[in-house]
């Protein structure tokens, strides 16, 4: 059974940093691309960042380019998202999700974690 478990969310002050983790199980982690998607309270879904199965290629939404960094450790079956220079607009539930392919381009996402809440407030 595919499982994705996010952690690392919490309350952080504006300008602060956090690192989110997503531990995967039930599939060959390195074979599949992964994505982070966020959802602000009461709002819709927004793509944040994606990474290929090997970790060699990464993609970022314009809204987080230069502030967030996606990475993965295939030996630990873990996906990461480093969040820096956080602002109130980054407050959201952050979901990790799995692609059915090694490259996320031209792909949807077939399994999702339950999310971790990031709150940016002073």
Partner 1 sequence: DIQMTQSPSTLSASVGDRVTITCRASQSIDTWLAWYQQKPGKAPHLLIYRASSLESGVPSRFSGSGSGTEFTLTISGLQPDDFATYYCQQYSSYWTFGQGTKVEIK
Point out which residues bind partner 1 (CB under 8 A): 35, 37, 44-47, 50, 59, 61-62, 95, 97, 104-115
Please, what is the minimum distance in Å from the beta carbon of residue 70 to partner 1?
Answer: 13
Contacts of 65 by beta carbon, 8 Å cutoff, 6+ apart: none
Please, what is the minimum distance in Å from the beta carbon of residue 39 to partner 1?
Answer: 9
Q: Which residue's CB is nearer to partner 1, number 32 or number 109?
A: 109
Please, what is the minimum distance in Å from the beta carbon of residue 29 to partner 1?
Answer: 18
Check residue 113 and report its DSSP letter.
Answer: -
């Amino acid at each position: 059974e595919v499982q994705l478990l996010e952690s690392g969310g919490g309350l952080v002050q504006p300008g602060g940093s956090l690192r989110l983790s997503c531990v995967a199980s039930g599939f060959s982690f390195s074979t599949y691309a992964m994505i982070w998607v966020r959802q602000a309270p009461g709002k819709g879904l927004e793509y944040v960042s994606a990474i290929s199965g090997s970790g060699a290629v990464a993609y970022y939404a314009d809204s987080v380019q230069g502030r967030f960094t996606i990475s993965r450790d295939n030996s630990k079956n873990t996906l990461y998202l480093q969040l820096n220079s956080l602002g109130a607009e980054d407050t959201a539930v952050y979901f990790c999700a799995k692609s059915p392919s090694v490259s996320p381009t031209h792909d949807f996402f077939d399994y999702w974690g339950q999310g971790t809440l990031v709150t940016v407030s002073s």
